Chains A and B, each alone.
Chain A
Amino acid sequence: MRPDLEREYVEYVTARLPRLHRTAYLLCADAFQADDIVQATLTALYLNWSRAVGADNLDGYVHRILVRRYLDERRRRWSRVLLGDRVPELTAAPDDDVEARDELVTALRALPKGQRAVVVLRYFGDLSVEATAAALGCSTGNVKSQCARGLAALREALGPRHPVGAANTTKGR
């Protein structure tokens, strides 16, 4: 890549990395997998940077890759083995403690994968209904209905009767 293009890439990635990582974590609720998804996404972005940087909606484009990667990771269970093995120097982090702190993450995990992606992209990624539909490859009507269902399912976790952390016992650990 040309040095000036590469600099633009570094600037973009530096600015977006924390948010992309958070998005990936909300999708998969696993710290390692989130890193893998983000790395795969941004490597793919590097390869197509010269074209991608000219896109009308670069963030939308990146989210689209991110969601695809997330869905791919979920599909290919063996990837967990492969990806885990790639970093033998890292020991597994005690993710469970982190997850247990937030009832919302637990509730998100219980959503169907597509619904979860819709909720995360709409309400964390701040993507429009249209951009969410484009990222997920579905209709805007589908996004709206999934949003409504997702919100309904999360209502309990959001409700005032269930403050953060109060539902840890439901995890059965």
Chain B
Amino acid sequence: MDEEDQLRDRLAAVDVPPSRIEVAALLGAGRRAAFRRRSLRASGGVALATAALLAVPPVLTGGTGRPADRSALGPTATTPAATTPARATPPATPATKAGPTAGCRPAELPVPPGTRNVEPAAVDPTGRYVVGNGTVGQDFRPVLWTDGKPRALPVPGTSVQATAVNAGGVVVGLVQNGRQEYVARYADGVWTRLRTPPGKWHPYPTPKINRAGDVVINVEPSGNSGGEGSIALLWKAGSTTAVRLPLPAGANVHAITDDGTLVGGTYVDGVGTAAYAWNQRGVGRKLPVPAGQTGLAYAARGDWVTGGAWPSESVARWNLRTGQVIVGPRWTHGTGSQPYGPGTAVNASGWVVALGTVLRAGKPVELTLPDGRTGRASDVSDDGLVVGSAFSDPGSRHLGPRVWRC
């Protein structure tokens, strides 16, 4: 038997763990996706949406028979919502500059010569700086736009991925160089490696930075997956030495606000169990979701935190100042409705990016593009600048980076 045949036989004989996918579930997922696409088209990009504004004072969560929630809310929980009855109308959020049906004006983002497949990843809160990444094979090539002008950033490794930028134009990202993988900060024209504690660590998911320049990420021992043995790290502005954050075991940080609040969630065996906001001493408050749901927080800006609630797959928003919790909205169409999925970015006015859709005051905003194209958002600034990409529809072929002024 020649080598090629031998490889064929061996690949066919690999002991593959069982799949959990069932055809019926696939069909359901396909129908939901088709339904959601139809909904988008039927409404011209602005679907009818409803949101449940949830009142989540301890008195209510305690009443659901989940004492764990009550104790977790504890004295740090905010309670203004205690007197607010649950209602089924979209909540008002501030700074809605345009009517809910007004589309956002698109513009192409130019890319540096020789870069391919460039997708924006993040915008700073002022809208001045945007970071994104092109690809070469399987590797990233970082790009920084300043006032719309692109610049290819240096590549001190096989792959450099820019993941966040602050109002001072300081970029953070992940560098891969052979087997090495580390967090780096780009400022004044150079990338600087941010050192981890002794040992070999794998950083995940991506570093975040606040206005002051403080950087956060989680690391797990190299070779682990699912967050096993993970710790959360903070590099103070300008520092290259990590401080281990005193968060509970299994906690992951996904965002840091300008006042230093850490936002993320607790995980057990790699599975999320609750959304949390902590101060830097590790004192946390659980961000509540309705009984029967599990919340996780992914992004924060100002008073707002966003994330998701499972198993409903809803987008969730928490206001740290008022204690307001909003789970939803859902797409509604005819007699059915579908979730948007978790929020992955939020601005100071509470606009959320949920799996590519921008929700403003609980309503999707239209990312205007010519027919046959669809826009997908990555991030939104405080002044309503949405960054993302255009895709062909159908086909989902990437057509290049875009910004929308909303």
B269 within 8 A of A: yes
B11 within 8 A of A: yes
The number of residues on chain B lying at the interface, defined by a beta carbon within 8 Å of a beta carbon of chain A, is 57
With a CB–CB cut-off of 8 A, which chain A residues contact B371? none
Could you tell me if B226 and A84 are in contact, using CB atoms closer than 8 angstroms? Answer: yes
Could you tell me if B308 and A85 are in contact, using CB atoms closer than 8 angstroms? Answer: yes
A35 within 8 A of B: yes
Could you tell me if A38 and B19 are in contact, using CB atoms closer than 8 angstroms? Answer: yes
Could you tell me if A123 and B395 are in contact, using CB atoms closer than 8 angstroms? Answer: no
Once A14-B23, A88-B310, A112-B138 are accepted as A-B contacts, the answer to whether A124 and B30 lie under 8 Å apart by CB is no
Q: How many A-B residue pairs have CB under 8 A?
A: 160
Which residues 204-248 of B sit at the A interface, judged by CB distance below 8 A?
Answer: 204-206, 223, 225-226
Q: Tell me, in angstroms, the Cα distance from A149 to B394 when the chains sit together.
A: 37
Q: Tell me, in angstroms, the Cα distance from A6 to B18 when the chains sit together.
A: 25
Known pairs A18-B19, A123-B11; list 12 more (Cβ under 8 Å): A17-B19, A35-B19, A46-B29, A47-B37, A84-B270, A84-B272, A85-B272, A88-B273, A88-B311, A113-B138, A119-B7, A158-B6
Q: Tell me, in angstroms, the Cα distance from A173 to B228 when the chains sit together.
A: 14
Once A51-B394, A92-B226, A158-B7 are accepted as A-B contacts, the answer to whether A42 and B26 lie under 8 Å apart by CB is yes
Describe A's contact surface by its main secondary structure.
Answer: helix
Could you tell me if B14 and A151 are in contact, using CB atoms closer than 8 angstroms? Answer: no
Once A1-B34, A84-B270, A86-B313 are accepted as A-B contacts, the answer to whether A151 and B21 lie under 8 Å apart by CB is no
Once A47-B33, A172-B223 are accepted as A-B contacts, the answer to whether A89 and B16 lie under 8 Å apart by CB is no
B98 within 8 A of A: no
Interface residues on A, range: 35 or more
Question: Closest residue to A151 on the B side, CB-wise?
Answer: B3
B350 within 8 A of A: no
Which residues 375-406 of B sit at the A interface, judged by CB distance below 8 A?
Answer: 394-396
Across the interface, A25 reaches (CB within 8 A) one of B17, B138, B311, B394, namely B17
* Residues in chain B within 8 A of chain A (CB atoms): 3-4, 6-8, 10-12, 14-21, 23, 25-27, 29-31, 33-34, 37, 135, 137-138, 140, 161, 174, 204-206, 223, 225-226, 252, 254, 269-273, 294, 296, 298, 308, 310-311, 313, 342, 344, 394-396
Could you tell me if A42 and B137 are in contact, using CB atoms closer than 8 angstroms? Answer: no
Could you tell me if A39 and B205 are in contact, using CB atoms closer than 8 angstroms? Answer: no
Could you tell me if A43 and B272 are in contact, using CB atoms closer than 8 angstroms? Answer: no
Q: Can you list 27 residue pairs at the A/B interface with Cβ under 8 Å?
A: A1-B34, A21-B21, A25-B14, A25-B16, A35-B21, A39-B25, A43-B29, A46-B26, A46-B30, A48-B395, A74-B138, A75-B138, A78-B204, A78-B344, A81-B252, A81-B272, A82-B298, A84-B272, A88-B271, A88-B273, A88-B294, A91-B271, A92-B271, A102-B15, A104-B14, A120-B11, A124-B11
A58 within 8 A of B: no
A13 within 8 A of B: yes
